[in-house]
Amino acid sequence: MHSPYDYQKKAALTLDDGTIFEGLSVGSATEAEGEVIFITAMSGYQEVLTDPSYHGQIVVFTTAHVGNYGTNPRVDQAPPVQVAGAIFHELWEPPVDHWLSERSLPEYMRANGLAGLTGVDTRALTLHIREKGARNGWIGPMSDPGAARAKARAIAPMTGLDLALKVTCEKPYKLSAKPSQTVPSGPMPVAVLDFGIKKAILDNLRAQNLDLTVWPANTPHGTFMAEKPQGLFLANGPGDPAACGYAIESVRATLGKIPVFGICLGHQIMGLAAGGTTYKLPFGHHGLNHPVKDATTGRIWLTSQNHGFCVDPDSLPSNVAVTHVNLNDDTLEGLEWLDLPAFCVQFHPEASPGPHDADGLFKRFRIMLEDFYA
């Protein structure tokens, strides 16, 4: 089946190694640049496009047909669109036969100023990234291949980039708890450091009857602790965790004083605060079906993931234990402190999109808070 929309303008993705992948331009912008990564998700494209963890990246969707159920603003995780660009094998244009759809994906891209390509051999592009590693790339017209290659080579590498400050909130704000019968005890105040937090994570925390104060990423320890939170949550986010020295310092000062829970970039920052180191993965983990093993119980979870950096388990002190391991490549996926109320995971237990195998970790955080203050 082919899209009825008549894409006319030829364009291409040019990688910094000189490789060119041709396609047709979609969206309102005609150019885009960033690190090119691939995602194996077969659904949830709108959540991906609005996830701040993808800030500065061009996302290649490996599933062959994208956009068939349209878009809905209620699905946005952190509007406006966060990705630098999007690449598809086949992008579907109206009509969309889905009862929740308010706008087609191409219309959504045009309304949000997002550049993209359709008609690309995404299988070949994905295999190239798997073999060569994540590359920087430039989306634009095919008129001057030499100039396109020069633009791709001039893009700053992801290593060393602090992108959390580009996506964090400008000032603190509060969100009230959502009491429920599953959490009979009263609300508890929690500070959230926003490195690029998703709406679904905030919803899951509030569902545990937690009153949230969301702080900008570079908020000092003393500032958020002055509000007397009973816990600290560290959000997901983009970029190199080692570049976030301000956050590492704040977390190091907080560990042991109140319970701490981190996800994704927050997990990496906790590992660095413990004295560990991080390194860049060849092409990262981006998808909804990554198998992770709980080292304590032996249980296998399917998880939603989006990260390009990883904590080195050999760099960690003896009071920090590995709790989860990625079964695809044996990389570290979770940590807990043996002598402090603190734990973190590399994957996304809130899903959105993805499986909900690990959503019980939000309840674990709530229980940790209650036990600490019992």
Expressed as residue numbers, the domain containing 327 is 164-372
Can you give the pLDDT at residue 8?
A: 62
CATH of the domain at 238: 3.40.50.880
C-alpha distances out from residue 74 to 21, 55, 78, 111, 148, Å: 33, 20, 10, 16, 37
pLDDT tens for each residue of 172-181: 999 999 988 7
Whether residue 303 sits in one domain with residue 272: yes
184-205: average pLDDT: 95
The reply to whether 295 falls in a domain is yes
Can you give the pLDDT at residue 7?
A: 58
Among 109-113, 255-259, 319-323, whose mean pLDDT is lowest? 109-113
CA distance 193 to 197: 8
Model confidence at 6: pLDDT above 60: no
pLDDT tens for each residue of 258-267: 999 999 999 9
Query: Of the listed 264, 285, 290, 333, which one is catalytic?
Result: 264
For 283, the 3-state DSSP assignment is strand
Whether residue 220 sits in one domain with residue 291: yes
Whether residue 241 sits in one domain with residue 349: yes
Count CA atoms within 13 Å of residue 104 on its CB side: 17
* 264 is a catalytic site residue: yes
* 47 is a catalytic site residue: no
Could you give the percent of the chain with pLDDT greater than 90?
Answer: 90
Residue type, 275: G
Model confidence at 352: pLDDT above 70: yes
The reply to whether 159 falls in a domain is no
CA distance 162 to 196: 12
Whether residue 121 sits in one domain with residue 93: yes
- To the question of pTM greater than 0.85 for the whole model, the response is yes
- Number of neighbours of residue 285 by Cβ within 10 angstroms: 24
* 350 is a catalytic site residue: yes
Query: What DSSP line would sit under 295-319, residue for residue?
Result: TTT--EEEEEEEEEEEE-GGGS-TT
The reply to whether 5 falls in a domain is no
Tally of structural domains, the chain = 2
Model confidence at 212: pLDDT above 80: yes
